[in-house]
Amino acid sequence: MEPQSPVHISVMPQEALDLLRLPPGGIAVDGTLGMGGHALLMARVLGNSGHLIGIDRDNASLRQAEKKLSSLELKIDLLQGSFSRLDIILAGLKVSAVDGILLDLGISSFQLDDSARGFAFSSEGPLDMRMDAAQTTTAADLVNTLKEVQLERIIAEFGEERFARRIAAAVVMSRSKARIATTRELADIILRALPRGYTRGRIHPATRTFQALRIAVNGELDELALGLDVCFRMLKKGGRLCVISFHSLEDRLVKNKFKTWGAGDEGLVLTKKPLTAAEAECEGNPRSRSAKLRAIERLK
């Protein structure tokens, strides 16, 4: 029996398609391809005369998406890379501008469920967290080498964790005895550092710290800030950019960029408030509860 393909449910697929408003025969980019769920729907709208371009930093995700999209007849280019380099990628494909771009900034279930990737604390695995395996710096490197004040800043800023100082101090104390190497080790250190009552919230107490380290390892906010500018610039006049974010730091960045382009008459903001997933979708896919979808159309 062949092994089953990993399952990942795309967030707000119809809402994203409606906002993208892709023309049949057009050119579209999925800048965070993942497992290819959104890309498959985009391809069906583009039709056989269209051109779909998929980009992802994670080579394992690219391989999974390639399987999902293999039966389609339209022109498809799937490339490992970052959407912040979309201008360079499109130049290599001899494409000057595109009709639509989708960015889904969430980490996929495929990545979370692979304990060897070290993104989650639900199972034992190495403290890795790299989207691109060719990158050298891992979460373990940060946890074991950064100064306490640097760790505190990362956890406070990227994780919005109010007990960042206590967690950073506990990490430094623990690593002075032995290197912190696994997800479970780090999660246990975090749990011991927090006040007892704080461990009874809706999310696991280690969630914010793990998020912060993942953002730091992959430079996600810098990537997003640069990538939004590049993506908007690569749209045709009338082309649309849709972004699905999953935490307030990302959403604030997207909101402010869109607001600036709207104020300068460069773009028309299509979502005065971000769209959120319907309750039925949230019940079937709990990760969609935190998703926010914003869209903008290029006017010039």
What domains appear along the chain, each with residue ranges and CATH number?
13-110+220-298 (3.40.50.150), 116-218 (1.10.150.170)
Q: For residue 108, is pLDDT > 80?
A: no
Give 265: exposed, middle or buried? Use CB within 10 Å, 0-12, 13-18, 19+.
exposed
pLDDT per position as a tens digit, 88-107: 999 999 999 999 999 999 87
pLDDT per position as a tens digit, 109-159: 666 666 667 677 777 899 999 988 889 999 999 999 999 999 999 999 999
Share of the chain above pLDDT 90, in %: 79
3-state helix, strand, coil in the chain (%, to 5): 50, 15, 35
pLDDT per position as a tens digit, 150-200: 999 999 999 999 999 999 999 999 999 999 999 999 999 999 999 877 755
What pLDDT shows up at residue 116? 65
| Residue 179 burial (CB count, 10 A) | 11
- Is this model's pTM higher than 0.85 or not? yes
Rounded to whole angstroms, the Cα distance separating 85 from 256 reads: 21
Query: Angle CA(154)–CA(157)–CA(162) in degrees, nearest 5?
Result: 100
What pLDDT shows up at residue 268? 98
Q: How far is CA 248 from CA 84, 151, 251, 277, 296, in A?
A: 20, 20, 5, 16, 19
Strand order in the sheet with 75-80: 75-80, 51-56, 27-30, 98-104, 235-245, 292-298, 267-269
Q: Which of the two residues, 35 and 295, has the higher pLDDT score? A: 295
* Residue 269 DSSP SS3: strand
Rounded to whole angstroms, the Cα distance separating 215 from 121 reads: 16
Output the average pLDDT for the chain. 91
pLDDT grade for 5, boundaries at 50, 70 and 90: very low
Q: Is 299 left (phi over 0), alpha (psi -120 to 50) or beta?
A: alpha
Q: How far is CA 270 from CA 100, 214, 244, in A?
A: 14, 30, 14
